[in-house]
Amino acid sequence: MDTPVEPLRIGVLGAARISSLSIVSPAKATGHRLVAVAARDRSRAQAWAADHGVERVVDSYEDLLADPEVDVVYNPLPNGLHGPWNVRALRAGKHVLSEKPSASNASEAAEVAAEVAKAGTTFMEAFHYLFHPVTRRVLEVVASRELGAVQHIATMVAIPAPPDADPRWSLELAGGAVMDLGCYSLHAQRILGPLVGGAPEVVAARAGTRAGHPGVDEWLDADLAFPGGVTGSARCHMAHDDVEMTLRVVGTEGEVVAHNFVQPHLDDRVTVTTPAGSRTESLGPRSSYTYQLEAFAAAVRTGAPLPIDAADAVASMETIDAAYRAAGLPPRPSSVL
């Protein structure tokens, strides 16, 4: 019988909307404690804590990092604040679960990785999709060679446009379609790399910027090349007509499609098509964020291995920066607190 894992004592930076899905519900489902929250506006933090069952509110981010009862910091702040506050949390001796991307650019991600090495605590970039059976099943199908030799990998992550004042449209806060959405498209390509000859490189990209927001990508399409000759197409769009979050792997003998690999709790289908026919498997609507928190807790409490680490976060940002440069856009600027 498995030994119960001691509950994490989680402190949340900010009162972000995503947190109800990404940390509050998973913590309740798995028995972990939300011990503290801090936000720039204390009254907002108080309301958020009351709504989500957080034990108490502290006055500032600094107070949360100094709190001896907090052993894990969850960082869902705007993208431009991920790197600096990840560094500060690590320096405070905390384990860190950071929303993706973990930093504004590869240089900043390397700074975070250096702090992880010094701190000796657990750090992970929250690519939650990786922990869901949908993604695991796609990897299994590719590895099984049921599709024959892989030829092409296509990823697309798109949503309707957020309001124009949303921080995701702010260059200073490291906004843009790639940072919010394309990071998933590129990450999934990289995760498949070991199965198709190695890590991919960005060979070309095209982008369109958001009107009124110079340098901020509304959409970006990146072409990738894997060492073994496999090609990739990683697309993202933050002003699309609809939600689309597909992962498709095409081989010489068929293809596999995850219909919504980023939000599998909304669509848990994986369809495999070969000359023998087509089948659709349903892998379960349990939240990918819940699977993620379970894996992170096991790593913190028992030293269980994680499939991604600080080095993966650096590689992720290197790929994002390369996509921006290939499209003629600058990588996101580093933040100074």
| Dist CA 263 CA 27 (whole Å) | 18
Indicate the length of the chain as a whole number.
Answer: 337
28 is catalytic: no
Interacting residues of 136 by C-beta distance below 8 A, sequence separation 6+: none
Token readout for 115 is: 């702090």
Closest CA to 17 of 34, 39, 35, 42: 39
Determine the 3-state secondary structure of 77 from DSSP.
Answer: coil
> Cα-Cα-Cα-Cα dihedral of 124, 257, 182, 151, to 10°?
100
Q: Is 328 left (phi over 0), alpha (psi -120 to 50) or beta?
A: left
Q: What is the Cα 263 distance to its own chain's centre?
A: 12
> Cα-Cα-Cα-Cα dihedral of 288, 294, 300, 305, to 10°?
-70
Residue carrying the six token digits 């939300």: 34
Phi, psi of 56 (to 5 degrees): -160, 165
Closest CA to 18 of 134, 87, 133, 97: 97
One-letter amino acid identity for 109?
A: A
Catalytic annotation, pick one of 28, 94, 100, 118? 100
Q: Check if the beta carbon of residue 109 is closer than 8 Å to that of residue 308.
A: no
Show which residues are catalytic.
100
